[in-house]
Structure 1
């Protein structure tokens, strides 16, 4: 993640109403972070060798290039209305949506996307764009799903891996910026086999297992209260499918934060069933954070 003060919040737009919702969410993020906002539209038509200028004799303002310019202008206007005083710029970049956004990510503080759209950003969640961007972006990615539930906490999925520390840190920062509480959620199901050919134990100590899972939460949150003394912190370990636990928690959340990699019950958040379920079914916006490599 780029920590330079000049790093912008970047939002991908395509002219859809859901993209404009993402613009408003991105504008609020930029205002909270005291960052500029950069509106980007991926213009794929030149790659497909489709004429983008109006044909000879066509009325002024025609052509795909002009339509793209209008998309960006409308998004910039929406951002300025949502967050007056935030510096907003817009740009059309020739290229495919995922490639354009990934190209933006090394210099961005955050990338914001709508959960559905048109054109280059169509079907962000169910298609390849969201998977590629959340998997490979060099900054956190925020997907504008559901709604921000006023008064709710920032919910973070915790799995105890070293990578999840970056996720917890991002979630705590978000809670601080929003004046919200932080709720750390650790979901587990049962003891897992330790290797190929191993079998799960038929009998195990439930209280000892709960103690181990509670310890995962305690270690994952170590030092967070000291770094963010303004953030009320709660945590809970639940014996449940991780996707179901996070989706249920999203119903009252301002934001759900998940990590890009992990282990145990939250393994493979991006490429497996957990991330897909959360991105498809969350009732609040979802942020995906990749740990620094």
Structure 2
């Protein structure tokens, strides 16, 4: 199992996974915690002959998998020279092993090889499955980070504290501004609250302001001096408006109540942000009543 002093990063040897290694290595250095580099080989699902080819030095599928880890360590050292890194080679579906390691870990960090038009594959199936099932926050990294940009966090009326807490940590570690964004949907119907229970915009505004005031107070009380920006844009699409606000962000933090690919989803907002963000995205899966 992982520990709270450990960041887990998955590496498959692809170019798309390199930004994840760099991001995870910098986080481990900033947090002064361990980095655990993991590679999971799928070859045993195809063949049991993992050994070397007779007479060919350095050959064999097991050796190839070990070489991926060696390359990953070199990538870590390129990003943060001298950073200690632990490695583990697994066999089987990567998401299963990373999900197991996520219990008690600080973060799980992965890249994305997603491509094509099938829903759920645009960011890569491993990334999506982990975002929906891991026990700790999952960061999906693309090579579009805006160094020094704000940390953006989307907040709503339901359990906003947990995403905000992780966003505060990221901002404080990076010395970056924290931008708190609540998107107001542009669909309020101008009828009294007593008429079929529909809110008017005037009745909604105090609730929005109370949410933003609470988030600002929470951030300032926890990290005095934090460069805090508050945004409350109006838009017809929550993820679209959130992404528009985050065009210069170094990372976007979103919460979800998702409970896994079978029992639930990661939610439409987190799903859309993961698909369309050009910078790293942290998905914070909020506990549900039947979650231990």
Deviations 1:131-164 (A, max 9, x none): 22111211111111242213321000101212x2
Aligned match of 1:248? 244
Partner of 1:116: 113
8 Å Cα contact 2:180-2:230 kept in structure 1: yes
1:239 and 1:251 map into 2 onto residues whose CA distance is: 16
Q: CA deviation at 1:199?
A: 6.3
Aligned to 1:88: 85
For the 8 Å contact 2:114–2:123, the answer to whether it is kept is: no
- Give, in angstroms, the shift of residue 250 of structure 1: 2.5
* Matches of 1:129 and 1:226, distance apart in 2: 37
CA deviation vs aligned residue, 1:60-95 (integer Å, no higher than 9, x gap): 111111111111101101101211232112121122
**Larger mean Cα displacement after TM superposition, 32-41 or 283-292:** 283-292
Cα distance change, pair 124–113 in 1 and its aligned pair in 2 (3 A): farther
Q: Which residue of 1 aligns with 2:36?
A: 38
Match of 2:176 among 168, 177, 180: 180
Distance 1:217 1:14 in 2: 41
C-alpha RMSD over aligned residues? 2.5
Q: What's 2:100 paired with? A: 103
Aligned residues: 271
Matched, 1:281 2:276: yes
Q: Give unpaired runs (5+ residues) of structure 1.
A: 193-197, 263-268
- Counting only pairs closer than 5 Å after superposition, residues 1-293 of structure 1 correspond to structure 2 as 4=4, 7-57=5-55, 59-116=56-113, 126-162=123-159, 164-189=160-185, 190-191=187-188, 201=198, 205-240=200-235, 241-261=237-257, 271-292=266-287, 293=291
**Matched residue of 2:229: which SS?**
strand
| CA distance 1:3–1:154, shift in 2 (3 Å) | farther
Give the conservation status (yes or no) of the 8 Å contact 2:3–2:103: no
Runs ≥4 in structure 1, deviation > 6 angstroms? none
Question: CA–CA distance in 1 between the matches of 2:143 and 2:77?
Answer: 22
How many Å apart are 1:52 and its aligned residue?
1.5
> 2 CA distance for matches of 1:3 and 1:46?
28
Relative to the length of structure 2, the TM-score reads: 0.84
* Alpha-carbon distance between aligned partners in 2 of 1:22 and 1:159, rounded to the nearest angstrom: 28
Deviations 1:250-293 (CA, angstroms, capped at 9, x unpaired):
3100110001229xxxxxx9534322221121121100112344
Structure 1: distance between partners of 2:42 and 2:216: 43
* Contact 1:186/1:237, CA 8 A, preserved across alignment: yes
Distance, in Å, in 2 between the alignment partners of 1:9 and 1:125 is 25
- Taking structure 1 as the reference length, the TM-score comes to 0.84
SS in 1 for 2:25: helix
Q: Is the 8 A contact 2:114 2:122 kept in 1?
A: no
1:138-195 superposed Cα distances (whole Å, 9 cap, x missing partner): 1111111242213321000101212x21100000111000001111111121349xxx
- Tell me how far 1:117 sits from its aligned partner: 7.0
